[in-house]
Structures are given as structure tokens and as C-alpha cells.
Structure 1
Amino acid sequence: MKAISKGSLLFNICNGLIMLGIIVVTFAPFWFTIVGSLNDGIDYMRGGVNLWPRELTFANYKAVFSDDTIYEAYFVTAARAIIGTIVHVLFTALVAYGLSKTHLIGRNVYLIYIMITMFFSGGLIPTYLLYRDIGLLDNFLVYIIPNMFNVWDLIIIMSFMRTIPESILESARMDGAGEYKLFARFILPLSKPVLAAITLFNGVFHWNSYFDSMMFTMSSSLQTVQLFLMKMVTDASFAQGVGSVAAANVPREAMSISPETLKLAMMIAITLPIVAIYPFLQKYFVKGIMIGSVKG
């Protein structure tokens, strides 16, 4: 067994302590939110609830999930996250496959036009007017169509696809495979690591997005959970209204909830689904980002 030098041992200890400190600092707000959401609402207002609930109760979560509006918002958010992510990954990957071919006629012109959109945009008002003219206002497709393509994701996927040996594709072409069949049968499976990373990025984006819901939709049936949470956090009257509805739905626990603990429970209820998905994509995450961004 190889002996570890004192310098290496000291480095490993310091590195471990620093990483432990980063973990604690990162996880602490999440833990305090969980503790607050599990504490009696009236007791929480007294302060001093930090490491564990002083008066444990699940009334806040019962109140959150007693409101039918939250289920509707969950459905809209889940639908836009699933559909939007699938459409985005497939469309961006298809564009990246085409642009990864150096023999593509006009390739440099396409790349220049695409790169311009990465640094310049029309602004909010022209975007609003454009969405109005093409019928996207107060339409579920406003979550999908404008987010079908992302330049940064294109660069990462295109860089990864350049690392795929051309000999594999040439063999398939000799067997009569066309470009679309190559893309579906070879390019997508071989690009699974980088596509998994992009899927995670885009899924988190869709799940956390509220601005487009706030600006481009008016119907409550298109409200996302993040917009619902944003209203609770920033609008005291909205939070009190939600609290009143919750108290009416769970009258036995009405004295155990408050607007503050209700907000905390809502935060956890919204965050947990996307956190639960991450472990399934983690093994592809680092590999996809490193290969897609370093090799070219």
C-alpha cells in the first residue's frame, strides 16, 4: 500500500473540511425550510425554530394539498416540463446534428445567425406583441414553442456529436440508412450522456419558470406552481387568501397553520419532485457536460 505524504494528507483534510462546509452552507436553508414547514404555525411565529420542529405537525402540508388550485398548477407545470423538455432536446439535437457536419452548405452563415440570437433579443414588448400576433398569448404552447431551442445547449450537443466516430455512420450509410434513421438509431443513443445533462437543465428550467406564466397568460388554468408560490411570497393578501381557503378545507388543523409556514410547506412541495429526479440522471450529468464542453 502506497504511503501518503504529510502534504497530501493535509491537503485531503483541508479539502474535505472545505467541501463539508460548502455542503452545510448549501443544505442549511433547505433544512430550515423543512423544519419550519413541519412546525406549528403559531408557534413558529415566536421564533427560535432552527434545527428541528418544536411542535411537530403535518397540518401545513395538509393545507397545501387541500386546495384544488395547487393540483391544477402542478399538472400545468408537469405537462410543460415533460413536453417542453422532450421537444427542446429533440429539436436542439436535430439542429446540432446538422450543424456538426462541416460539409453542410451555408453552415457558417447559419451559425452566425444563431450566435447573434445568443447576445441580442427584441426585448419584452416586441416579444409580447409577437406572441399576440401568432396566437401564443394565454395559450399552453407559449411554454413550449419559444423554448424549443437554446444556443448554449446547441453548442454543447454539437461539440459532443463531433466526437462520434464517422466510421460508425459510414457503415450505416452503406447499409442504406438515411440521415433521419442515422439520427434516431445511432446519434441519439450515442449522445445519451450529453442529452441527459441537457434534459436535466431544461427540465429544471421549465419547472422553476414563472415569468412567462406571469407575463403571457391570464387564465388561472394555465398558472404554474412557481407563479403560485411567487404570489404567495410577494403578495401578503394572496397568501392570506390561500391560508383562509386552507383553514376552511382543514378546519381541525386551522390553528396549526400560518401564512409563513404555509409558504415554507409550499416551497418544499414544489422543490421535492425535481430533486427526486436528479439521482436518476446524475450518472450522466458530469460525463455529458465534460465531454460536450471540452471536446470539440
Structure 2
Amino acid sequence: MNKFRSRGEKAFDVFNILLLAAAAAITLFPFWYIAAVSLSPIEQVMRGGLILWPESLTLESYKLILTNAHFTRALWITVALTAVGTLTNLVLTALMAYPLSKKRLKGRSALLFLVLFTMLFSGGMIPSYLVMKWLNLLNSFWSVIIPSGISAFNLIILKNFFQGIPEELEESGKMDGCTNTGVLFRIVLPLSMPAMATFTLFYAVGHWNQFFTSILYVTNSKLWPIQVVLRQMIIQGSTEEFQAAIANETTEIMPTTIKMAAIIVATVPILFVYPFLQKHFAKGVLLGSVKG
């Protein structure tokens, strides 16, 4: 590092730091405000104005949210949907990307064309709904998972990633008795952890935040994920279950604080996924694979 830096370089660094700090503050401010309102007493919220720090901490809104059967059921449905959906996405994407990464595969160009075609054109909402209805998948868990089983964009990236793995590693695995499936799961996928971790995060966030597919295919409110319930609370005031719960509460709670608490509860779980995956992002693709 050069110790003798010009004033222009130092000024540029200061400008970058201030700019990034301002961008971070703008990004974090909505989350901070929502958390502050959700923890604020009703008197402070009723006075209005900008709340940056609660006068006294109260967890009444969180208590009401987490003890409501409708909300907790939606939360567990979302957890299960995210886990099963992400696993399904990763398996299907890897199983299709691996053979497409081999130039010796017959019909490879035609299959790649079909994959790219889906990135530009789709059947549309009504045909997709009719297909789900014909398959008897409406109001089911799989109606939300199957339509997004494979992302064409992620498939292309993973295919290119597999192509970068040396063929010699796969050939050595076959010499040791591995089948194509064994090579994929014992050699290729372990070397592809950075890519798989990235796609795990993409797919998980997509499943956790999706609500339009559930609105389209799921009409039973007992099967709604958390984002649909949250949408009902924010846009349409509150659900009937929450209206009944609020009416039965002995302590008066501002509906705004309930909405803010619901947003925090629906947002925080998916934020904890990233720390478990970030260690794989910077790892080398072939780290340790050529060592004796």
C-alpha cells in the first residue's frame, strides 16, 4: 500500500466512504423505523410524527402476532414451502444443468434453445392456471413449487459453471467405479458449493417472498404463506382472525404497531439464511480438488 498518497486520492476515499455510508443509512432507515414503531407504546404512536426510538419498549404487538394461530400457521407454511421448494429447485436445476454441460449430449442444442425460449416467452397466466387446474394442484402445496421448479437463468449459469470443472476429475471418478450420478453428487456438486450456495439463497428468498403464485392458485386462507397474510394486513387493513384477536385483547393495541411487528417477523427469518451461506461465496471453485 502506497503511504504517499495525493490529496485528491484521499479526498476521493473520503467521498466514497461518505457516499456508501449515506446509501447504507437510506437502506437501513425503513427497517429501523418499522422496528421502532413495532416496539413503541400506543401513546407514542398515536401522537404521530417520526419515531426513531421507542419511549418505552413493549412487546405486546409481537405477543399478539406470535400467539395468533392464523399468523403462526402461515409462518410455518412459509418455512416448509421455502425448505421443500429450495431443495426441489436445487435438485432439478443440478440434474438438468449437468447433462447440458456435456457437449456430447445428443439434442443438446435443441434443449438449450427450449430453455432460452422460456426466458423470453411464457404460456401466460390463464393457460398456467388451467394447467394447474387440469393437474388437480389448485389449493395444494405443490401448486406453488412446481411452476418455479427450474429457473432458466440459474440453469444456464450452473451449466456454464459445470463446464469449467476439468473433465479429468470426472474421468478419475469413473475409473474408481462411479456412475454418472455418482460423479455428479460426489465430485461435481462438492466442487460447486459456491454456485450452489448462491442459488440456494436466490431460490430461498424467492420462495419466502412470493405471494402472487399463492394468490393465483391458493384460495383457501388456511394454506396461505406469510407474505399473503402480510399483504392482507397491510393493504386490506387486517384479516378477520386478527380483527377478532384484537377485539378479545384487554389492552388496546394500535393496528399500526401490529402491522409493523408482522413485517419484522416476516422479514427477520430469511435474513439469517445469508450468514450460513456467505462463507461459500468466496471459496475457489476447485479448492482442494487437485491436491494429493
TM-score bracket for this pair, using the shorter chain length: over 0.9
1:57 counterpart residue number: 58
1:175 aligns with 2:176: yes
Deviation at 1:288, TM superposition (A): 8.8
Cα pair distance change 1:229/1:87, threshold 3 Å:
same
Q: Does 1:190 align with 2:186?
A: no
**C-alpha deviation, 1:2, in angstroms:** 3.4
Query: Is this contact kept in 2: 1:195–1:288, CA < 8 A?
Result: no
Match of 1:30 in 2: 31
Shift of 1:280: 1.3
What is the aligned partner in structure 2 of residue 259 from structure 1? 255
After the TM superposition, list the runs of 4 or more consecutive aligned residues in structure 1 that deviate by more than 4 angstroms: 286-289
Distance change >3 Å, CA 5–CA 25, structure 1 → 2: same
1:150-183 per-residue CA deviation (whole Å, 9 max, x = no partner) reads 1011011112111111111111112221100001
2:242 aligned residue:
242
What CA distance in whole angstroms lies between the structure 2 residues aligned with 1:101 and 1:45?
A: 64
Q: 2:265 aligns with which of 269, 277, 290?
A: 269
Unaligned runs of 5+ in 1: 290-296
Asked whether the 8 Å contact 2:70–2:241 carries over to 1, the reply is: no
Residue 132 in 1 paired to residue 128 in 2?
Answer: no
Change (3 A) 1:128 1:201: same
Alpha-carbon deviation of 1:57? Answer: 1.1
Question: Are residues 46 and 240 of structure 1, via their aligned partners in 2, closer, same or farther at CA, if it must alter by over 3 Å?
Answer: farther
Counterpart of 2:86, as a letter, is: T
How far apart, CA to CA, are the structure 2 residues paired with 1:288 and 1:14?
Answer: 33
TM-score normalised to structure 2 length: 0.92
Displacement of 1:48 in angstroms is 2.2
After superposition, the Cα gap between the structure-2 partners of 1:232 and 1:31, relative to the gap in structure 1 and judged at 3 Å, is: same
Instruction: Give runs of aligned pairs for residues 22-171 of structure 1, distance below 5 A.
Output: 22-171=23-172
The SS at the match of 1:103 is coil
2:77 is paired with a residue whose SS is helix
| Correspondence for 1:15 | 16
CA separation of 1:91 and 1:241: change in aligned 2, threshold 3 A = closer
Counterpart of 1:284, as a letter, is H
* Contact residue 197 and residue 280 of structure 2 kept, 8 A: yes
Higher fraction of helix: 1
Work out the number of aligned pairs and report it. Answer: 284
Q: CA deviation at 1:284?
A: 2.6
Q: Secondary structure at the match of 1:50?
A: coil
8 Å contact kept, 1:204–1:274: yes
Amino acid in structure 2 at the alignment position of 1:207: W
* Deviation of the 1:247 alpha carbon: 4.8
Conservation of the 8 A alpha-carbon contact between 2:38 and 2:61: yes
Which one-letter code corresponds to 1:270 in the other structure? A
- Aligned CA-pair RMSD: 1.8
Aligned partner of 1:224: which letter?
P
Secondary structure of 1:5's counterpart equals coil
* Aligned 8 A contact 2:38 2:258 in 1: yes
Residue of structure 2 equivalent to 1:278: 274
Helix, strand or coil at the partner of 1:102: coil
Aligned residue number for residue 290 of structure 2? none
Work out the percentage of aligned pairs sharing the same amino acid.
38
- Give the TM-score taking structure 1 as reference length: 0.91
SS at match of 2:139: coil
Give, in angstroms, the shift of residue 285 of structure 1: 3.7
Cα pair 2:89 2:149 within 8 Å, conserved: yes
Query: 1-side partners of 2:9 and 2:240: how far apart?
Result: 56
- Per the TM alignment, residue 8 of structure 1 is displaced from its structure 2 partner at its CA by 2.7
Flag the 1:139–1:200 CA change in 2: closer, same or farther, 3 A.
Answer: same
Q: Aligned in 2, Cα 1:177/1:240: closer, same or farther, shift over 3 Å? A: closer
Cα offset, 1:278, TM superposition: 1.2
Secondary structure of 1:47 counterpart = coil
